[in-house]
Amino acid sequence: MPKRVVPEEKRRRRRPTKSGTVLSEQLIVETALRMLREHGSAGLTARRLGLALDADPSTLYRYFRGMDDLTLAIGDALIGQALAGWRRTGEWRADLRSFGLRVHAAYVEHPQAAVLTASRVSGRANELAADEAVLDVLRTAGFPLPDAVRVYHAFIDTTLGFAALDAASLALPGAALHADEEMWSSTYARLPAATHPRLAEAAPLLATRMLTSAYPTALEMLLDSAAAQLDGITDRGAGKGR
């Protein structure tokens, strides 16, 4: 006879841990985020997480199917941070810009967690809410469904791609990050114009710009392209009406 499946809510630990803490999914995720920030992904294990929570590591499996399930929950929590406080204005460009910047900032604030989760698809509540909101912004603005999906795809992947790239830099050991940044004002700045004329003329600007994220610029370029596309759709619609 098949073993009866215990409903998820009944698998939760009701008794406090030895230190008096009552575990919850939110507390576990918050603790995991702290451990990632302090020790990196290699330091996040069920045993270490159990020690940090003063609970037996096996207790974690009352809340998550495994460490990969916890990873998905961490990524969803980052999206939740971006959603918290975000309010739509009704102007589609402003709404996508503000939300994209919030998502990017949430991931960069937790670089080790971002490297671990930016490429994952969790299907969890915050991720679904974010995807629904972005698609609704585009559809409400007047994008036909295929175009809305295309812009949504580019928007999400650009945002998470830059979040992962920028987070990966921030997650580097301090010495490695400093060496990378110094390269723009040392090696690149000293290239002779005779052999590298374009790099030589651009070196002063590169030394400043390459130390910052290109995401805001890429986001504006994406929004410009989407706006031009929407204008074309509107113009074609007006032409048919004449």
CB 82 within 8 Å of CB 102: yes
pLDDT value of residue 109: 95
pLDDT value of residue 120: 95
Confidence band, pLDDT 50/70/90 cuts, at residue 9: low
Percent of all residues in the chain with a pLDDT value above 90, rounded to a whole number = 80
User: 7-21, 83-97, 101-115, 123-137: which range is least confident on average?
Assistant: 7-21
Other CB atoms within a 10 A radius of the CB of residue 169 amount to: 16
Mean pLDDT calculated for residue range 120-148? 97
pLDDT value of residue 41: 86
The closest of 50, 8, 17 to 31, measured between CA atoms, is 50
CB 192 within 8 Å of CB 200: yes
Confidence band, pLDDT 50/70/90 cuts, at residue 4: very low
Residue 239 pLDDT more than 60? no
CA pair distance 204, 202, nearest whole angstrom: 6
Tell me the domains of the chain and their CATH numbers.
8-64 (1.10.10), 85-171 (no CATH), 175-215 (no CATH)
CB 134 within 8 Å of CB 153: no
- Give me the chain's average pLDDT, please: 90
Residue 44 pLDDT more than 60? yes
pLDDT value of residue 22: 83
| The model's pTM | 0.86
Mean pLDDT calculated for residue range 164-169? 95
Tens of pLDDT, residue by residue over 181-217, are 999 999 999 999 999 999 999 999 999 999 999 999 9
CB 103 within 8 Å of CB 157: no
The closest of 80, 3, 77, 18 to 50, measured between CA atoms, is 18
Confidence band, pLDDT 50/70/90 cuts, at residue 234: confident
CA pair distance 242, 21, nearest whole angstrom: 69
| Helix and strand element counts for the chain (H, E) | 10, 0
Task: Supply angle C-alpha 81, 84, 87, rounded to 5.
Answer: 135
The closest of 95, 105, 171, 193 to 137, measured between CA atoms, is 95
pLDDT value of residue 15: 59
Between 232 and 81, the more confident residue is: 81
CB 106 within 8 Å of CB 215: no
